[in-house]
Chains A and B, each alone.
Chain A
Amino acid sequence: AQKITQTQPGMFVQEKEAVTLDCTYDTSDQSYGLFWYKQPSSGEMIFLIYQGSYDEQNATEGRYSLNFQKARKSANLVISASQLGDSAMYFCAMGQMNYGGSQGNLIFGKGTKLSVKP
């Protein structure tokens, strides 16, 4: 069975510093995708970044990067130069990789609450 584990219920970071949010996963699938979503206090789920299991390079999207270590089954999110607006819940998720429309549901971790201090 697929499983996502986020071991940090809460994290604090000083504004302008970098922070790493941990995520480990378990799956027997060879093809899968890893995702990070942000959920601010307003409640919406905002897609941040994606990493495919066959991607050799770590994904980056602006200040977000995904530290993908396949052998360790980890997909940590790194946020550089933290901003006050980064304070939110962050969810790691895993889903079936899509080749030609076979899209499946996402399995989510319990989330990490990030608080950015001024």
Chain B
Amino acid sequence: DARVTQTPRDKVTEMGQEVTMRCQPILGHNTVFWYRQTMMQGLELLAYFRNRAPLDDSGMPKDRFSAEMPDATLATLKIQPSEPRDSAVYFCASGSGTISYNEQFFGPGTRLTVL
């Protein structure tokens, strides 16, 4: 049963600290998305990659957020320095270009709390 995995599942940190979230997409999927979910904004796209190349990171605050795919099995989202307003659930999703529609499989999310 192929699944997207994310670590950590929960992270509590203090303002100013660096936070790194990791995602392992489903093997063979060529597209990886990072979404953020908050009560106020709902689900919003932060960045996405196709074949490891960044395609769109317009939803991401560039001064503190960065997203990378060091290899096909790992995507990272880093916040440095973190702020209380970054508290949210961060979802990674992956998708395949081999199917006829862009169903995205979501990971369980990382719940981030910045104090």
Partner-B contacts on A (CB < 8 A): 33, 35, 37, 43-47, 50, 52, 91, 93, 95-111
Using CB atoms, name the residue of chain B closest to A110. Answer: B42
With a CB–CB cut-off of 8 A, which chain B residues contact A96? 102
Question: Per-residue 0/1 for B67-101: is the Cβ within 8 Å of any A Cβ (1 yes, 0 no)?
Answer: 00000000000000000000001010101111111
Partner of A105, one of B48, B89, B101: B48
Question: Could you tell me the distance between the alpha carbons of A99 and B89 in the complex, rounded to whole angstroms?
Answer: 31
* A109–B42 CB distance below 8 A: yes
With a CB–CB cut-off of 8 A, which chain A residues contact B31? 103
* A45–B91 CB distance below 8 A: yes
Question: Could you tell me the distance between the alpha carbons of A110 and B56 in the complex, rounded to whole angstroms?
Answer: 22
Question: Could you tell me the distance between the alpha carbons of A104 and B49 in the complex, rounded to whole angstroms?
Answer: 9
Q: Does B65 make an interface contact (CB < 8 A)?
A: no
* B106–A45 CB distance below 8 A: yes
Interchain nearest-CB distance for B97 vs A (Å): 3
Interface residues of B in 40-64 (CB under 8 A from A): 42-45, 48, 50, 56
Interchain nearest-CB distance for A113 vs B (Å): 12
Interchain nearest-CB distance for B60 vs A (Å): 12
With a CB–CB cut-off of 8 A, which chain B residues contact A111? 42
The size of the chain B interface, using a CB distance under 8 A, is 28
Identify 18 residue pairs between A and B in the complex whose beta-carbon atoms are under 8 Å apart, listed by A's number.
Answer: A33-B102, A43-B109, A43-B111, A44-B106, A47-B105, A47-B106, A50-B103, A91-B43, A97-B102, A98-B99, A101-B30, A101-B97, A103-B97, A103-B102, A105-B45, A105-B56, A106-B45, A108-B44
* B43–A108 CB distance below 8 A: yes
Interchain nearest-CB distance for A70 vs B (Å): 16
Partner of A52, one of B42, B95, B101, B106: B101
Interface residues of B in 1-60 (CB under 8 A from A): 30-31, 33, 42-45, 48, 50, 56
* A35–B108 CB distance below 8 A: no
CB within 8 Å for A35 and B103 given contacts A98-B97, A103-B50, A105-B33 = yes
- The residue among B30, B44, B56, B102 with the most chain A CB atoms within 10 A of its own CB is B102
Question: Could you tell me the distance between the alpha carbons of A97 and B103 in the complex, rounded to whole angstroms?
Answer: 10
